[in-house]
């Protein structure tokens, strides 16, 4: 997901609007007329393509403020760049709490940074809500009651792909190319757990670094195994390269990519639509670049939002849509708070969501939370790219079940 205008945004992140305040203003104490929200994002560094999440969240809260705020309070969204570094994420989080006096941390990106800040935030009793990570370690209600995930867990997503392979290709050879970090490891762990005895069919797996310069060599090695199933677990910019490389080698296995890479605009199209035809994934949000949603009312609202509040060159960024959906979910929590925006009540309302469906979620995807359930979204749909659009197949899958049971 290449972030259009990223450098301009980074230079202006502290000066634009209520969605990104200057240091002078952010030093001011919080008032009863605003809700201060802290956020940490990789606007620079190896994962900067996901900075689009924070950009969209800032724009979403600008829209909310233009409509009068939430229960009479304006949102002050203060987002900082951690350069994809966990130590920086912790330090920035401390500053947001101790200098900027935020009510809560929301939507910070990545497993390492959120894990680094988790103990501090729980000791301070600061809500760490809807973190942008699918690591189950960030949804441990009993151990860390102030930290809550948002999206389906990476392990559960991995199990979905394993279940698909078991159902359709139980005797075929499998290769896996996975990103060598907690994100990639958790996805691959879910696949291994789900495959069980069928792990014997995984003939080769290769771990790669985010800036790996040897993707062509990796894909060549995997092709030579004669595998029928190619599972890719990583980011969209790498997925597009890998799909294109496989096609250039005249290798056309059953191609499975993880949800974060399943973007038409940011992975399938750059790889070549013909090369990408047949790719399998699992999803819980609509793809803004999918023509299937052109007449969908929620997506029309999305494009109107992008035109008015988040004017970038492309409106088809899936990371931006993720940020929009997460911000919509937090807005629901804050609406439920009424006049009590204490940290305790914010957490109480976050654990009281009942069948809330983000407008840009796929049909029948719902958020449900409780004091013991810190995984708000547990459902996904298997989808296949037909060269133009994602086609869903099968039922909505409840990922909380170890066997990925269909609802």
Q: pLDDT tens across 196-210, in order?
A: 999 999 999 999 998
- pLDDT above 70 covers a percentage of the chain that reads 90
- The pLDDT assigned to 284 comes to 97
The pTM of this model reads: 0.89
Q: pLDDT tens across 267-297, in order?
A: 999 999 999 999 999 999 999 999 999 999 9
- The pLDDT assigned to 315 comes to 80
Which H or E run includes 384? Answer: strand 379-385
Let me know the angle formed at the C-alpha of 164 by 237 and 265, rounded to the nearest 5 degrees: 25
Query: CA dist 125 to 23, 190, 213, Å?
Result: 24, 31, 43
State mean pLDDT over 313-318: 80
pLDDT at position 18 over 80: no
Alpha-helical (H) ranges within 67-153 are 86-98, 111-124
Q: pLDDT tens across 199-256, in order?
A: 999 999 999 998 888 999 999 999 999 999 999 999 999 999 999 999 999 999 999 9
55: tokens are 């950009």
- The pLDDT assigned to 398 comes to 82
Q: How confident is the model at residue 360 (pLDDT cuts 50, 70, 90)?
A: very high
What DSSP character marks residue 73? Answer: B
Side-chain half-sphere CA neighbours of 129 within 13 A: 29
CA–CA separation, 77 vs 309, rounded Å? 15
> In degrees rounded to 5, what are phi and psi of residue 4?
-70, 130
- The pLDDT assigned to 211 comes to 87
Q: How confident is the model at residue 313 (pLDDT cuts 50, 70, 90)?
A: low
- The pLDDT assigned to 59 comes to 96
Calculate the average pLDDT of the chain. Answer: 90
- The pLDDT assigned to 13 comes to 40
- The pLDDT assigned to 2 comes to 33
| Helices and strands counted in the chain (H then E) | 14, 11
- The pLDDT assigned to 31 comes to 56
């Amino acid at each position: 997901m290449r972030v259009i205008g990223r450098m301009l945004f980074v230079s202006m992140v502290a000066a634009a609007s209520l969605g990104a305040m200057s240091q002078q203003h952010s030093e001011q104490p919080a008032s009863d007329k605003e809700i201060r929200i802290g956020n940490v994002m990789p606007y620079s560094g190896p994962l900067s393509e996901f900075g689009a999440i924070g950009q969209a969240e800032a724009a979403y809260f600008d829209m909310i403020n233009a409509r009068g705020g939430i229960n009479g309070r304006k949102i002050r969204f203060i987002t900082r760049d951690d350069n994809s570094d966990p130590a920086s994420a912790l330090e920035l989080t401390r500053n947001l709490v101790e200098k900027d006096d935020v009510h809560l941390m929301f939507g910070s990106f990545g497993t390492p940074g959120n894990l680094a800040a988790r103990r501090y935030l729980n000791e301070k009793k600061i809500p760490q809500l809807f973190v942008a990570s699918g690591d189950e370690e960030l949804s441990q209600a009993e151990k860390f009651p102030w930290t809550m995930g948002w999206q389906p867990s990476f392990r559960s997503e991995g199990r979905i792909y394993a279940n698909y392979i078991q159902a359709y290709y139980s005797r075929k050879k499998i290769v896996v190319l996975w990103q060598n970090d907690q994100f990639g490891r958790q996805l691959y762990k879910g696949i291994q757990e789900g495959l069980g005895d069928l792990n014997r069919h995984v003939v080769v797996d290769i771990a790669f670094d985010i800036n790996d310069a040897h993707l062509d060599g990796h894909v060549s090695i995997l092709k030579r195994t004669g595998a029928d199933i190619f599972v890719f677990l990583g980011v969209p910019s790498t997925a597009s390269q890998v799909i294109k490389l496989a096609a250039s080698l005249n290798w056309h296995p059953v191609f499975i990519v993880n949800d974060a890479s399943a973007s038409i605009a940011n992975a399938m199209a750059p790889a070549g639509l013909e090369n990408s035809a047949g790719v399998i994934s699992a999803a819980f949000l609509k793809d803004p670049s999918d023509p299937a949603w052109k007449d969908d009312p929620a997506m029309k609202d999305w494009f109107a939002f992008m035109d008015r509040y988040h004017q970038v060159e492309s409106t088809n960024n899936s990371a931006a849509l993720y940020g929009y959906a997460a911000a919509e979910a937090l807005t629901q929590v804050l609406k439920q708070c009424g006049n009590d925006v204490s940290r305790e009540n914010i957490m109480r309302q976050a654990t009281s969501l009942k069948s809330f469906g983000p407008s840009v979620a796929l049909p029948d995807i719902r958020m449900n939370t409780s004091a013991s359930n810190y995984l708000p979204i547990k459902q996904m749909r298997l989808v296949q790219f037909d060269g133009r659009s994602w086609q869903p197949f099968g039922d909505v899958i409840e990922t909380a079940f170890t066997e990925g049971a269909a609802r």
